[in-house]
A and B are shown apart, each in its own frame.
Chain A
Amino acid sequence: MTDAWRVVLISDFNVASLGGLLENDDAPPRVEVTVAPFGDVGATLLDPAHPALAGGPDAAVVWTRPEGVIPSFGDVLAGRDTALARVERVLDDVDAFAARLVAFAARVPRVLVPTWVVPTHVRGLGTIDLRPGGVARTLLAMNHRLLQRLDDTAAIVTLDAQRWVATVGAAAHDARAWYMGKIPFAADVFREAARDCKAALAAGAGHSRKLIVVDLDDTLWGGLVGEVGWEALALGGHDPIGEAFADVQRTLQALRRRGILLAIASKNEEAVALEALQRHPEMILRPDDFAAWRIDWGDKAANVAAIARELNLGLDAVVFIDDSPAERARVREALPQVLVPEWPEQKLLRVAALQSLRCFDSVAVSAEDRARGDLYAAEHRRTEARTAVTSVEDWQRSLGLHVTVTPLRRPDLKRIVQLLNKTNQMNLRTRRTTETELAAWADGGGRRLWALRARDRFGDAGLVGVVSAERIDAEMRIADFVLSCRVFGREIERVMVHTVVEHARAEGTATVVAEYLPTPRNLPTLEFWRRSGFDEESTASPAGPATRVAFRWAAARPYPAPEFIAIEHAAD
């Protein structure tokens, strides 16, 4: 995939404004937009050779008006027939349109589909419009049916256009723009749409933020705990400010349940702050909810960077939230990759500010995501255990690590794709893909993919690694080598290499090859391979100054797995 994503916009109205907004947004991924001729939705979806799809777009946005693609809904709008039979016909038309979208999504890796809306001044049957046959009732049923029909297609992300309209309010639909330019929405609706489309594309590209580092005083609770003591903090209770802070904590807790890690950077005495977290009766977030903390009088920028290092996350995965403009400015200046949102001076507005952040959006939430906070809490306990033993080797042995290696299975596909798309640091080739693409790739001849699960005496880390290989002539080439940053340094990397080498030996190939494709963030991968025992081979690229780095292993020799890891090979 090139640096800029090729995105095609398909619509039954003039959607060019969305294209301009998407192209002018500098945040990754950058996009180049092609606008299909409007009113040509059916042909564009059905015809693989349609000129708008030339070159194979990386993503598409299919944004339509309900009456533009569901002709029978036009009859409902016109009040021609409100009988229930009409609604059934409308839903049949929705099914047919959804089927076209699903077929289209087999050819385009990511398809964004906003839900249908009608202008707010359209009142259908008036106050009884939510009764059967009403416009609003029919539209609700249409959107519900569309979502149901698209739910099982991983490449399709449905977006809530009603939220864009509600955010803009009464001016969302601009009749002037419609009659003069066939543009049904005001510019502000397109801005909201562009933000959500960009967030969805960024999520698919692995650009979602993964960690929130929060301040404590006047950010997580009201008041300075070192001054007033934990008993007097504004938190919960029958107090507007206290309720607002409790809601901030509830929102953070909800993000944690989506897989976003929480950490603390606070200028306080650690014991005092932790006592507040442990003892305040209305505290929502407790110490176990945080993956790491730095509570001291040091520089916050340095502490944020240290937390990211401790959690094996890049700074571009971090969001920093602090009520102090000076601290925000300091972190922005020192760590420009960290996202530091402006934080409202008014405490009552902060929940909305937190909830409106799009940087955590993902294309799916897996069981591993939901458990991630607990997994990091277990990691915290592992680290404490490490201080009690004398060497890294003793520590690794003490963990009782058990790794299960499983061939590609359909139920694992979602998590595997998520890991491929989100992992940056231990990622040999940084292939970004979709479930459809990966399944098709794995079906090709000479290819194998394994998923690795890890558990130890502190807990089950779930599916943490993916390794795949493709036989090309006498070489077994590693196609993917991806490991969650949560389990770096446990030697699971060596289990992954062992798996591929054993496969190569069984297949009778002469050499295993791992070619490293550098990115700004996968240096830890190169460092691992340089320690791996493979022979390094660097050649200058004919295309320019870049150097190609590959690692080779003669498959006649077995590659030993760490003897302190129990490995279980699940059957095909």
Chain B
Amino acid sequence: MGDRGRVLEALYAAVDDVNLLLPPRDRLAKAEATVLLGDAAHLDSLGFLNLVLAAETQVNARCAPPVNLAERLLELDEASLPATLGALATLIVELQGS
């Protein structure tokens, strides 16, 4: 499994964590195409924050080097935020390589 595969595995574990907090209709699918932000997203701002925190925790528990995902997202403008799980995985892989 490559870096991206391990990151996705960690993200899906984070999705499991966050789904415990969400009503059934809003639960996230474990797929790269799952929308996180925008009109088509089921997550509100709290849900997105919970996913980011869970993702950072899961990624750093499973993959090296550790990433500072939450603070990196604070530096991005709204249009640059990852809008799907796949885009979030891409950002994490970039952070690991930087």
* Chain A interface residues (CB < 8 Å from chain B): 14, 16-17, 20-21, 23-24, 174, 176-177, 180-181, 183, 187, 190-191
Q: Contacting chain A: which of B15-23, B29-37, B75-83, B86-94?
A: B15-23
| B13 interface contact, C-beta 8 A | no
**Which chain B residue has the least Cβ–Cβ distance from A23?**
B23
Cβ 8 A contact of A20, one of B20, B49, B56, B74: B20
Q: A176-B70, A180-B70 are in contact. Are A21 and B53 (CB under 8 A)?
A: no
> Complex Cα distance A20/B49, Å?
14
Residue of B20, B24, B70 contacting most chain A CB atoms (<10 Å): B20
Q: Which chain A residues lie closer than 8 Å to B22 at the CB level?
A: 20, 24
> Complex Cα distance A345/B21, Å?
31
* Chain B interface residues (CB < 8 Å from chain A): 17, 20-24, 45-46, 49-50, 53-54, 56, 70, 74
Q: Which chain B residues lie closer than 8 Å to A14 at the CB level?
A: 46
**Which chain A residue has the least Cβ–Cβ distance from B68?**
A176
Residue of A14, A176, A181 contacting most chain B CB atoms (<10 Å): A176
A181 touches B23 (CB 8 A): no
From residue A195, how far is it (CB to closest CB) to chain B in Å? 12
B70 touches A21 (CB 8 A): no
B53 touches A177 (CB 8 A): yes
A21 touches B20 (CB 8 A): yes
B21 touches A17 (CB 8 A): yes
From residue B61, how far is it (CB to closest CB) to chain A in Å? 11
Q: Which chain B residues lie closer than 8 Å to A187 at the CB level?
A: 17, 20-21, 50, 53-54
The 19 sampled A-B contact pairs (Cβ below 8 Å) are: A14-B46, A16-B21, A17-B21, A17-B46, A20-B23, A21-B21, A24-B20, A24-B21, A176-B56, A176-B70, A177-B53, A180-B49, A180-B53, A180-B70, A180-B74, A181-B45, A187-B20, A187-B53, A187-B54
Q: Which chain A residues lie closer than 8 Å to B56 at the CB level?
A: 176
Q: Which chain B residues lie closer than 8 Å to A191 at the CB level?
A: 20
> Complex Cα distance A544/B14, Å?
45
B23 touches A176 (CB 8 A): no
**Which chain B residue has the least Cβ–Cβ distance from A188?**
B17
